[in-house]
Structure 1
Amino acid sequence: MKEIIRVERKRILSLRNFLILSVIVLIFSIFSSIMSLNNYNVYDSKGSIIISSKDNLKESKLNKHNTLLNEKTLKDIVERKDKSKYLYNSNLVTLVASNYEKKVKELTNDDIRNFYNQRIANVKKNLSGAAYSEDIDKIASGGKKINTPLQLGYVEGWKNLNNDMIDFVTIVILAIPFIILSVFAQDPKTKMRQLYISTKHGKKTLVKAKIITGFEVGSIIYITAVLIFSLSKLSILGFKGASLPIQSSINYLFCPYNMTYLQQYLLNITIGFIAMIVMVSITLLFTVIVDQILSGAVFVTFFCVIMTMLPNNNFQINHYFKNFLPYHMVNFNSYYINPEIYIIAGKIIPTYVLVILISLLAFTISTTCTMFISNIKLSSKLK
Structure 2
Amino acid sequence: MKIIDLERKRILGMKNICIVTLVLIFILLFLIYIILSDYKENNKQSLLQVYENIKEDRKSTKTDLLTIDKVRDIKDKYKKVYKSKKLTDDNGNERKDVLNSELKEDKYIFRTIVANYSPISEYDPSHILDISNQQTNDFYKIRLDKIEQLIEDESRSNNLEVPPKEKTRILEDVSKMQKPLKYGYAEGYEVAGSIIGPFTKIIIIIVGIIIAPLFSEDKQTKMNEIILSTKFGKNKLTFYRILTGLLATTIIYLTGVTIFSIITFSIFGIQGGNLHIQGGAGYWFSPYNITYLQQFIINIVIGYIACILMAFITMFITTFAKKVTHGVIFTIIFTILMVVMELQKIHYLNYYFLNFLPWNLINYFNMYKTYYSYNLFGVQIDKIIFQPVVALIIILVAFVGILCRKKKTRYL
TM-score by length of 2: 0.84
| Partner deviation per Cα, 1:317-337 (whole Å, 9 max, x = no partner) | 222112222111111111111
Equivalent in the alignment of 1:337: 369
Equivalent in the alignment of 1:126: 150
1:350 aligned onto 2:382? yes
Equivalent in the alignment of 1:72: 69
**1:207 shift after superposition:** 0.7
**1:58 shift after superposition:** 3.7
- Residues 324/64 of structure 1: CA separation in 2 closer, same or farther (3 Å cut): closer
- Residues 347/145 of structure 1: CA separation in 2 closer, same or farther (3 Å cut): farther
Tell me how far apart the structure 2 counterparts of residues 93 and 344 of structure 1 sit (CA, whole Å).
41
Tell me how far apart the structure 1 counterparts of residues 58 and 266 of structure 2 sit (CA, whole Å).
14
| Partner deviation per Cα, 1:51-94 (whole Å, 9 max, x = no partner) | 93234324433437531101221121122188551574332222
Tell me how far apart the structure 1 counterparts of residues 291 and 281 of structure 2 sit (CA, whole Å).
14
- Residues 212/64 of structure 1: CA separation in 2 closer, same or farther (3 Å cut): closer
1:37 aligned onto 2:36? yes
| Partner deviation per Cα, 1:118-139 (whole Å, 9 max, x = no partner) | 1111122222143134422211
Tell me how far apart the structure 2 counterparts of residues 306 and 80 of structure 1 sit (CA, whole Å).
50
Tell me how far apart the structure 2 counterparts of residues 316 and 349 of structure 1 sit (CA, whole Å).
17
SS in 1 for 2:180: coil
**In structure 2, which of residues 305, 316, 320 is the aligned counterpart of residue 289 of structure 1?**
320
- Residues 50/177 of structure 1: CA separation in 2 closer, same or farther (3 Å cut): closer
Equivalent in the alignment of 1:326: 358
- Residues 32/50 of structure 1: CA separation in 2 closer, same or farther (3 Å cut): closer
**In structure 1, which of residues 262, 270, 274 is the aligned counterpart of residue 293 of structure 2?**
262
Tell me how far apart the structure 2 counterparts of residues 275 and 175 of structure 1 sit (CA, whole Å).
13
Kept after mapping to 1: 8 A contact 2:27/2:199? no
Tell me how far apart the structure 2 counterparts of residues 217 and 187 of structure 1 sit (CA, whole Å).
23
Equivalent in the alignment of 2:283: 252
Equivalent in the alignment of 2:175: 144
Tell me how far apart the structure 1 counterparts of residues 63 and 219 of structure 2 sit (CA, whole Å).
60
SS in 2 for 1:283: helix
Equivalent in the alignment of 2:202: 171
Kept after mapping to 1: 8 A contact 2:273/2:293? yes
| Partner deviation per Cα, 1:82-117 (whole Å, 9 max, x = no partner) | 855157433222211211247223233322222112
| Partner deviation per Cα, 1:192-228 (whole Å, 9 max, x = no partner) | 43333223xx111111111111111111111111210
**1:168 shift after superposition:** 0.9
Kept after mapping to 2: 8 A contact 1:183/1:214? yes
1:114 aligned onto 2:144? no
Give the aligned residue type for 2:73.
Answer: D
Give the aligned residue type for 2:349.
Answer: I
1:83-232 to structure 2, matched below 5 A, reads 84-86=99-101, 88-101=105-118, 103-128=127-152, 129-130=154-155, 131-184=162-215, 185-186=217-218, 188=220, 191-199=224-232, 202-232=233-263
Tell me how far apart the structure 2 counterparts of residues 109 and 67 of structure 1 sit (CA, whole Å).
22
| Partner deviation per Cα, 1:242-300 (whole Å, 9 max, x = no partner) | 11110000000000011111111111121111111111111111111223212222322
- Residues 321/188 of structure 1: CA separation in 2 closer, same or farther (3 Å cut): closer
1:46-61 to structure 2, matched below 5 A, reads 47-49=43-45, 52-61=49-58
Kept after mapping to 2: 8 A contact 1:37/1:237? no
Give the aligned residue type for 1:85.
Answer: N
**1:28 shift after superposition:** 3.1
Tell me how far apart the structure 2 counterparts of residues 376 and 50 of structure 1 sit (CA, whole Å).
61
Tell me how far apart the structure 1 counterparts of residues 108 and 194 of structure 2 sit (CA, whole Å).
16
Identity between Structure 1 and Structure 2 (%): 27
Tell me how far apart the structure 1 counterparts of residues 201 and 306 of structure 2 sit (CA, whole Å).
9
Tell me how far apart the structure 1 counterparts of residues 393 and 300 of structure 2 sit (CA, whole Å).
19
Equivalent in the alignment of 2:91: none
Give the aligned residue type for 1:54.
Answer: Y
SS in 1 for 2:286: coil
1:314 aligned onto 2:346? yes
Farther-moved stretch of structure 1 (177-186 vs 212-221): 177-186
1:362 aligned onto 2:362? no
SS in 2 for 1:279: helix
Two-structure CA RMSD over aligned residues (Å): 2.4
Give the aligned residue type for 1:319.
Answer: Y
- Residues 18/80 of structure 1: CA separation in 2 closer, same or farther (3 Å cut): same
SS in 1 for 2:144: helix
SS in 1 for 2:116: coil
Tell me how far apart the structure 2 counterparts of residues 50 and 66 of structure 1 sit (CA, whole Å).
29
Give the aligned residue type for 1:212.
Answer: L
Tell me how far apart the structure 2 counterparts of residues 14 and 33 of structure 1 sit (CA, whole Å).
29
SS in 2 for 1:348: strand
Q: Aligned residue pairs: how many?
A: 374
TM-score by length of 1: 0.90
Kept after mapping to 2: 8 A contact 1:40/1:56? no
Tell me how far apart the structure 1 counterparts of residues 37 and 46 of structure 2 sit (CA, whole Å).
13
SS in 1 for 2:117: coil
Kept after mapping to 1: 8 A contact 2:186/2:271? yes
| Partner deviation per Cα, 1:288-315 (whole Å, 9 max, x = no partner) | 1223212222322221122112263432
Tell me how far apart the structure 1 counterparts of residues 106 and 337 of structure 2 sit (CA, whole Å).
44
**1:14 shift after superposition:** 0.8
Kept after mapping to 1: 8 A contact 2:319/2:402? yes
Kept after mapping to 2: 8 A contact 1:342/1:348? yes
